[in-house]
Structures are given as C-alpha cells and as structure tokens.
Amino acid sequence: MIFESHAHYDDEAFDGDREELLHSLSAQGVGTVINVAASVDGIESTVRLAEEYPFVYAAVGVHPDEVGEMDQGTLERMRRLAREDKVVAIGEIGLDYYWDKEKHELQKEWFRRQLDVARQEKLPFIIHSREAAADTLQVAREERVGEIGGVVHCFSYGVELAREYLNMGLYLGIGGVVTFKNARKLKEVAEYAPLSALLLETDSPYLAPVPHRGKRNDSGNLPLVAQAIGEIKGISPEEVIRVTEENGRRLFYKIDKNGK
Ligand code: NI
C-alpha cells in the first residue's frame, strides 16, 4: 500500500473534516502516514494524531521558520517523545532561506542540535531545505548525517546535489511538484535517482499535484505522483508504490519493530 512519508494533518486546513478524511485514506490505498511536526505546538498535535490513528506515525521536530520558539526544554521534550513507540523520526528540521524568518546562524544551530537528538535516539531525520543548498550540504557533511540516516524532503535541488545526498545514503522525498510542467530539475532528479532511494510524499495540505494544483492536498493524491515517477522511469505506478513502501519501512524502521 502507499507509504505517505510527509503530511501535516494537524494543520488547520483539515480542521473541518480531519477525521472523515483520515478514515477515507485506506480505501484509497494509503497504508501508512508519517505526520510531520513543524512547530513547537505541532509536536504535541502530531503525537496526538499518531496516538489516535493506528496507521499514523509521528515525526517530532521544529521547522527552520519556527526555531525562534525553541529552547532547551523543547529539545528535552523531543528527546523523551522520541522514545515513544509511535514516534519514528526527527523532523522536519533544516534550513529555509526562502521565507528567511529566522537568522541563518540560529537556523543552523537548531538544525545541528536536532540532528544530535536523532543521532542519540537512533531515529532517522526529515530535512527541510529551501534555497539553502550550500549551507545544508555543509551541515550535512560536518554532522556526518549519513551515519544517522534520513530523507531530504520535497527535494528541490538539481542532480548534482541529489548525487551528494544519495552518496551519503539518504533518501529523497518526491511529491506533487514532479507533476508540474515546469519542474524540469525535479524530473531529472527523479530519473537519475534509483527507485530504492525515493519516498512518496505530499506535504499536505500543500503542493497538490496536477490536476489539483493550488487546492488542498491529501495523501489520496499520491497515485498521481507515483504515476508521474513511473512515466519518468518507464515503470508502472504499482512498482513505484511497492518499492517506495519498502523504502519507507526500511528508513522508518521503528514502524515494524513495534509490530502491528
Ligand atoms: Ni512539510
């Protein structure tokens, strides 16, 4: 079944129909959802969702836009939650120089400190990196993130950077953008990267694939992403779905460790 590696179902965009929507996903072929925290409050709402729905798992972390709210206590809270059965990753963490809400030095500091939690708690990380290619790569190298393992979500750079991260053993998250006509760079990356290193993701409620571009996104749209990747690679969408699920279970190993 479809492995959704990145969604934000605690987002207020789902306040009106969250329960109905989540209950509809399995009929649409979605077997697993990683709900990814983005803010300090989001850590709590993400963990609550994972407690409520058996097929939802939590990633705990604070997005670079929100690191101004972080303190040592947040980090300790993350560390404790990382030991819960349904918390399977640290994320999303990283650098965002597009919105550029927080000072770069502060973003880098919390990126590194959250990577440390992933390393110490033996959990994979989920990296968010937007218009911060050089600094993200520098931190990734210095922190030797290949030893921890993780995914660069919503991969938005070119083949050269993809090669760097693939050589570290990281996964690349690919979502609705791959269906956009103007997404030449990402289509090249999807062709270049081995299927064994890709994860399907929506980043719901954002980045809905064509023909729903601009509307609220949800994991039920992932067959459109699998279709697009399949066309690029010359394989069936079913194979894309099957292999990316294996990838997800390999990376987020706690899902199977704690049984179902
Ligand atoms: Ni996200």
Tens digits of per-residue pLDDT, 165-192?
999 999 999 999 999 999 999 999 999 9
| Helix H or strand E segment including 95 | strand 87-96
**Stated pTM of the model:** 0.97
Task: Please report, for residues 88, 119, 237, 241, 260, the alpha-carbon distance to residue 256 in angstroms, rounded to integers and kept in the order given.
Answer: 10, 20, 24, 18, 7
5 Cα: distance to centroid of ligand 1 (angstroms): 10
35 Cα: distance to centroid of ligand 1 (angstroms): 9
The per-residue pLDDT for 9 is 98
Res. 260: pLDDT tops 70: no
CA distance 253 to 256: 6
Quick one: DSSP state of residue 217?
P
Q: Which residues contact 189 (CB under 8 A, 6 or more apart)?
A: 155, 157, 158, 159, 162, 172, 174
59 Cα: distance to centroid of ligand 1 (angstroms): 11
Q: How many CA atoms lie within 13 A of 52 on its CB side?
A: 13
259 Cα: distance to centroid of ligand 1 (angstroms): 26
38 Cα: distance to centroid of ligand 1 (angstroms): 7
Binding residues for a divalent metal cation: 6, 8, 92, 128, 153, 203
206 Cα: distance to centroid of ligand 1 (angstroms): 8
Tens digits of per-residue pLDDT, 207-251?
999 999 999 999 999 999 999 999 999 999 999 999 999 999 999
The per-residue pLDDT for 259 is 58
Q: Which residues contact 106 (CB under 8 A, 6 or more apart)?
A: 67, 68
Mean pLDDT of all residues in 61-68:
96
- The mean pLDDT value of the chain amounts to 97
Backbone angles phi, psi at 2, to 5 degrees: -65, 135
Which amino acid does the sequence have at 73? G
| Helix H or strand E segment including 187 | helix 184-192
